[in-house]
Amino acid sequence: MAKVTTNAPSSATDSQVGQTDLRRAGLKVTHPRLRILHVLEHSEKRHLTAEDVYRQLLQQGEDAGLTTIYRVLTQFETAGLVVRHNFGEGRSVFELDKGEHHDHLLCVACGQVEEFIDDVIEKRQREVAAEKGYEMTDHYLHIYGICAACRDKQK
């Protein structure tokens, strides 16, 4: 019986994709890097703390250790694979860098992070910078609040 094999790029395994991503970022392929990249690429949540990554790896039967995870995430950040957001109180959240600008809403009760983009805010910021003689190159906007689910619980 003939085995059907496909060589289409879409059939590349996650591991192959991860290896390509690491090499493209100029990083050597190591087991922890591959596993952590896999978590970032397949997690339901796009914004993860190092602890989130640690827990997801544990669920997959891998005890990578928080120190390793922090180190690898920082290497990813330096290589431009991920963006780190500092939401205060030492709360660092990592997301894959898709190269698209967006701002964030953070729930101070449960830590949920949501993304948004508002054309009026974007435009105003460029105007404010221009009024001061600046050409805006980047900005970060974090809105802190209590999410709908947490507000329901408080009732």
CB of 46 to Zn ion, least distance (A): 6
> Does 148 help bind Zn ion (rule: CB under 5 A)?
no
Return the number of the residue (12 or 149) whose C-beta is nearest Zn ion: 149
Return the number of the residue (132 or 155) whose C-beta is nearest Zn ion: 155
> Does 25 help bind Zn ion (rule: CB under 5 A)?
no
Handedness of CA 24, 72, 56, 60 (dihedral sign): positive
> Does 51 help bind Zn ion (rule: CB under 5 A)?
no
At residue 28, φ and ψ (nearest 5 deg) are -70, 145
Q: Decide: 40 and 85 in contact? Cβ < 8 Å.
A: no
Rounded Cα distance, 10 and 92, in Å: 33
Q: Decide: 128 and 120 in contact? Cβ < 8 Å.
A: no
Identified binder of Zn ion from the candidate list 14, 41, 51, 115, rule CB under 5 A? 115
Return the number of the residue (19 or 125) whose C-beta is nearest Zn ion: 125
Q: Which of 59, 60, 76 is nearest to 68 (CA)?
A: 76
> Does 57 help bind Zn ion (rule: CB under 5 A)?
no
CB of 109 to Zn ion, least distance (A): 4
> Does 40 help bind Zn ion (rule: CB under 5 A)?
no
Give the alpha-carbon dihedral of 100, 105, 107, 111, to 10 degrees: 20
Return the number of the residue (37 or 113) whose C-beta is nearest Zn ion: 113
Identified binder of Zn ion from the candidate list 25, 79, 109, 141, rule CB under 5 A? 109
Contacts of 9 (CB under 8 A, 6+ apart): none
> Does 110 help bind Zn ion (rule: CB under 5 A)?
yes
CB of 127 to Zn ion, least distance (A): 24
Rounded Cα distance, 45 and 41, in Å: 10
Q: Using CB under 5 A, list all residues that contact Zn ion.
A: 95, 107, 109-110, 112, 115, 147, 150
